[in-house]
Amino acid sequence: MKNSPYATHWKSSQLMSDKRFEIRFYKDKDIQKVSLHSHDFYELYFFINGSASYIIEDAHYKLQSGDILLISPSDLHQLDINDKSESYERMVLWLNPKYLRELSSPNTNLAECFELSYRRKQYLIRDYKLSEEVTEELTALYEYSLTDSYGSDINMEIIIKKLLLSLCLFIKNAPQVLDKSRSVVSRTINFICENLDKELSLDALAEAMYISKYHLSRLFKEETNTTPHQYIIKKRLVFSKQLIERNTPIKDVYLKCGFADYTHFFRAFKHEYG
């Protein structure tokens, strides 16, 4: 795949054009930085080459070739390029949650690999054997996506099912790891997510975590590459978008998401989503 001439043209919009799934292979240098963001879909990210780090919520990973990241809808994430002189190569598979439900069976939930990673806060898979399998499956999927040949659509569906099943089995059998070094930031993020409808000042967060607000700000910035205030706004906007999609009355949305008034909410929402 490294020598493939068919690399996808990178776009900063990060939006799906297909309603089911999209597979992309990127190979570029000095890409435009994308700020901390989230999607409405699942993302399987496969790192091939380069010098980069990845932030998902409060987890910060220095990537190695073959790393697999599982990112769920509403997970805030961001890429950091460490060395722009190196070619940055990766494959990305985007999956619509509805499509995943259609592929699943009553006995087999193919979104479980993402759901378990989200609940455990373990987004990274680093396993040589699984990495080889994922490389093979993603490469085949990408090559099929470039053609309209007979059977290509069926083959792509088979590959996606097989790929997700392998990931689900791996995650289900993987031991859970508690990273104590991130415990303060993790607790802060949990507190934020559970209290989005309340006033969340830095003073309130620091008091809840029994830590000085200056120390909390420093730790939070180190782990998430953003400030507590910016993170809170992002999370509130993600939640507000979910409520709107559930047909929640607008007059209730901004209150449930902790915005002081409708005008403040509208400006922030328009700035984030257009």
Whether 31 is in a domain gets the answer yes
Whether 229 is in a domain gets the answer yes
Are residue 32 and residue 153 in the same domain, yes or no?
A: yes
Rounded to two decimals, the pTM is 0.80
Are residue 77 and residue 26 in the same domain, yes or no?
A: yes
Q: Residue 15 is which amino acid?
A: L
Cα distance between residue 239 and residue 256, in whole Å: 9
Instruction: Give the number of other CB atoms < 10 A from CB of residue 202.
Output: 16
Whether 213 is in a domain gets the answer yes
Q: What is the CATH number of the domain that holds 156?
A: 2.60.120.280
Q: Residue 46 is which amino acid?
A: F
Are residue 198 and residue 226 in the same domain, yes or no?
A: yes
Of the candidates 11, 77, 68, 72, the one whose C-alpha atom is nearest the C-alpha of residue 41 is 72
Per-residue tokens: 58: 């409060």
Are residue 95 and residue 27 in the same domain, yes or no?
A: yes
Are residue 34 and residue 151 in the same domain, yes or no?
A: yes
Asked whether residue 146 carries a pLDDT value surpassing 80, the answer given is yes
Whether 49 is in a domain gets the answer yes
Whether 4 is in a domain gets the answer no
Whether 152 is in a domain gets the answer yes
Instruction: Give the number of other CB atoms < 10 A from CB of residue 206.
Output: 18
Residue 253, CA distances (Å) to 109, 189, 250, 270, 274 in order: 31, 21, 5, 14, 17
Cα distance between residue 245 and residue 268, in whole Å: 17
Return the SS3 of 56. strand
Residue 57: the pLDDT is: 87
Are residue 229 and residue 150 in the same domain, yes or no?
A: no
Q: What is the CATH number of the domain that holds 217?
A: 1.10.10.60
Q: How confident is the model at residue 93 (pLDDT cuts 50, 70, 90)?
A: very high
User: What's the half-sphere exposure (Cβ side, CA atoms, 13 Å) at 136?
Assistant: 9
Which of 173, 196, 213 marks a domain boundary? 173
> Total domain count for the chain?
2
Asked whether residue 3 carries a pLDDT value surpassing 70, the answer given is no
Which of 128, 148, 173 marks a domain boundary? 173
Residue 36, CA distances (Å) to 6, 14, 167, 219, 263 in order: 28, 12, 26, 17, 23
Are residue 184 and residue 165 in the same domain, yes or no?
A: no
Whether 71 is in a domain gets the answer yes
- Residue pLDDT, tens place only, 121-135: 889 999 999 999 999
Whether 227 is in a domain gets the answer yes
Are residue 268 and residue 155 in the same domain, yes or no?
A: no
- Residue pLDDT, tens place only, 180-231: 445 788 889 889 988 999 989 999 999 998 889 999 999 888 888 889 999 9
- Residue pLDDT, tens place only, 17-31: 778 999 999 888 767
Of the candidates 39, 43, 40, 38, the one whose C-alpha atom is nearest the C-alpha of residue 24 is 43
Residue 159, CA distances (Å) to 26, 50, 68, 73, 141 in order: 20, 26, 17, 22, 7
Residue 5: the pLDDT is: 45
Q: Is there a contact between 95 and 157 (Cβ–Cβ < 8 Å)? A: no
Full residue range of the structural domain in which residue 156 is found: 21-173
- Residue owning tokens 């993790």: 186
Which of 144, 173, 202 marks a domain boundary? 173
Q: Residue 144 is which amino acid?
A: Y
Are residue 73 and residue 46 in the same domain, yes or no?
A: yes
Are residue 205 and residue 144 in the same domain, yes or no?
A: no
Q: What is the mean pLDDT of the chain?
A: 87
Are residue 25 and residue 71 in the same domain, yes or no?
A: yes
Per-residue tokens: 9: 């043209």
Are residue 76 and residue 154 in the same domain, yes or no?
A: yes
